[in-house]
Amino acid sequence: METFGIGIAGLGVVGSGVAKNLVKNAELITQRTGFKFEIKAAALRDPALAHGIVDPSKVKLTTNSMELANDPSIHIIVELMGGTDAPRTLIQESLKNGKAVVTANKALLAECGEELTALAAHHRKPFGFEASVAGGIPVLKALREGLVANNILSIHGIVNGTCNYILSQIAQTGSTYGAALAEAQKLGFAEADPTLDVEGFDAMHKTVVLAALAHGFWIPQEMVHVQGISKLASEDFAFAKMLGYTIKLIATVKSHPDGAVEAHVQPTFVPNRHVLASVSSSFNALAIKGDVVGETLFYGRGAGSDPTASAVIADIVDAAAALSGGHAPHLGATHSLYAKIKPYEETMAPYYIRLGALDKPGTLATIAQVFAAHQIGISSVFQPKDHPGDFVPLILLCDTAPERDVRLALAGIAGLGVVNGPATAIRLEEFAP
């Protein structure tokens, strides 16, 4: 029986889940894989906190994670510290020292994924990061293996549980953004400082990783358009419901026939008939379309100690199989090396537009003329009755148009004196076949 030494750097939420489940399901994992795994060492800032997570009589504890990279009894390094500087150095040194590496660190991958996957390929060592996207859902493995025969046409993902919890709460209970966020924090679905999640950056990190697996190149983070959920207005949830939609934070990776790939994260109107609209609470889900398979759907827990540990342990097993003589998964994929990134302003979508319009005959015609001048069709117009004041909400559903033209039209309308402030523009995703 082949035995692999494991070194875990970081015994927090995910690290403790990995340590616990590697022991709890040791026999099952060994029966299925033929491998045995022994946690040889763990790095953490306060070794006293390791008690109850690992057995200190069997597991060496250190405050210096680099000790793991130089420990000859360790074959697989599991990086679960978070942050970027220390994990980057640890992963570099571990790969150079001939160790396999597993991480859940999406922020690091979005920043250094290209460099680290190239380094792993150079040293011919496995480098797994399944847990970096959608926690326990094996979506990267699906892209890498199950969908290997496909050109990936589109990925639409709900990949941030914090945002999905907040959006579901607002849509289902009518609560305010602030109350839904406070509830998420109370239940442990949101951090004390929720910025990374609610402003869309965490979803953007995952979008970079998804695009790399789907299209073989690492999109620079700054080229992924990001818009979070903190500025959404309650009335847009009400109008969405009335029009048959649900607002979700959607991470999109879409390829075009010319090889260009668009990648963005933003609140999106999802039609209630689509399965993503019914993904609620902190769950994640991804709809992935391939040219051979067609539409596929992945659903599950996107975070948390046990679901994330499930993905980390799967990577540990894959790493052991590769070290044992198999092939390391091919991560530095070269199939789209020359792919281009489609600038966000050139990407196309239908839009929901809400304006505060002057309640006077002719206003609608004035606004419609501006859209027409930019070749943007309007498919629906709605104005709630009996709204007090000089300005009333005007809801327009616009046909598919380039982002740039929609922005130009809205800027033009803003200068006409018929609206009382900036327009709200939210994309609609109709999931056309």
Ligand X SMILES: NC(=O)c1ccc[n+]([C@@H]2O[C@H](COP(=O)([O-])OP(=O)(O)OC[C@H]3O[C@@H](n4cnc5c(N)ncnc54)[C@H](OP(=O)(O)O)[C@@H]3O)[C@@H](O)[C@H]2O)c1
Q: Which residues are catalytic?
A: 206
Q: Rounded to whole angstroms, what are the CA distances from 85 to 15, 111, 120, 300, 332? A: 18, 11, 18, 30, 22
> Quick one: which segment of 32-40, 98-106, 209-217, 275-283 binds ligand X (CB under 6 A)?
98-106
Q: How far is the CB of 141 from ligand X (least distance, A)?
A: 15
**Which residue in 8, 41, 120, 131 binds ligand X (CB under 6 A)?**
131
13 contributes a contact to ligand X by CB under 6 A: yes
Q: Nearest-CB residue to ligand X? A: 12
Q: Which is nearer to ligand X, 106 or 225 (CB)?
A: 106
Per-residue mark of binding to ligand X, 15-54 (x: CB under 6 A): x---------------------------xxxx--------
**Which residue in 22, 59, 65, 125 binds ligand X (CB under 6 A)?**
65
303 contributes a contact to ligand X by CB under 6 A: yes
Q: Which is nearer to ligand X, 208 or 370 (CB)?
A: 208
Site for ligand X in 101-130 (CB under 6 A): 104-106
Q: How far is the CB of 35 from ligand X (least distance, A)?
A: 23
User: Going by C-beta distance under 8 Å and a sequence separation of 6 or more, which residues neighbour residue 242?
Assistant: 382
**Which residue in 82, 271, 402, 412 binds ligand X (CB under 6 A)?**
82
Q: How far is the CB of 362 from ligand X (least distance, A)?
A: 53
219 contributes a contact to ligand X by CB under 6 A: no
Q: Rounded to whole angstroms, what are the CA distances from 337 to 21, 216, 259, 304? A: 38, 6, 10, 34
169 contributes a contact to ligand X by CB under 6 A: no
196 contributes a contact to ligand X by CB under 6 A: no
> Quick one: which segment of 79-87, 332-340, 371-379, 382-390 binds ligand X (CB under 6 A)?
79-87
Q: Which residues make up the interface to ligand X (CB under 6 A)?
A: 10-15, 43-46, 65, 80-83, 86, 104-106, 131, 135, 303-304, 308
